[in-house]
Amino acid sequence: MTTTDYLLNGLFVFSVLRQVRERRLDLQSILLPLGIVAFVAHSYIHTVPSAGNDLVLVGLLASVGITLGVLSGLTTRVRVGDDGAARTRVGWIAGSLLIGGMLARMVFVLAAEHGAGGAISSFSATNHLTAAAWTVALVAMALCEIIARMVTVQVRAYRMTGTVAGLPIPAAA
């Protein structure tokens, strides 16, 4: 792992810890995660590998990310504040899901770099996976986790307040 990888993981943990305190859902609650997602995607995903079973691996880990994100979003406390705005707070379950996904990715990368590389290479060869697929799949898992959580929380808030990120959105006819 590079210094940038550690910094990005630290930023992710900081963003989760920051949400332990209740906060108002506003435009920043959408723009900040989307900015992080755009930066990470631009930094790590240059092509989508499609050899062998690469797309299966990417899809599988993206599905894991979506599952973790939705579960985290469903277990995040969402309520209407005195001012009528949606307020959220990450509890133990939601925070554990988010940090658990991040730790799983870090453990995999650290294991690959410190002794498990041969086993991962053997598994990859047996299952027709390229090294690039692992990178894209792990990044897709993280991005899907962030986006799924954000969307889940925003949908829950919309149902309570009729707003998304504090902005009124008219109901469809």
- Local confidence pLDDT in tens for the 173 residues of the chain: 677 777 877 777 777 777 788 999 888 888 888 888 888 888 888 988 999 999 999 999 999 999 999 999 999 999 999 998 999 999 999 989 988 998 898 899 889 989 998 999 999 999 999 999 999 999 999 999 989 999 999 999 999 998 888 777 776 65
Q: What DSSP designation does 77 have?
A: E
Q: What's this model's pTM, rounded to 2 decimal places?
A: 0.87
Helix (H) or strand (E) holding 107: helix 92-113
- 15's CB contacts (< 8 A; 6+ apart) are 32, 33, 36
Cα-based distances in Å from 17 to 5, 12, 23, 82, 96: 18, 9, 12, 24, 11
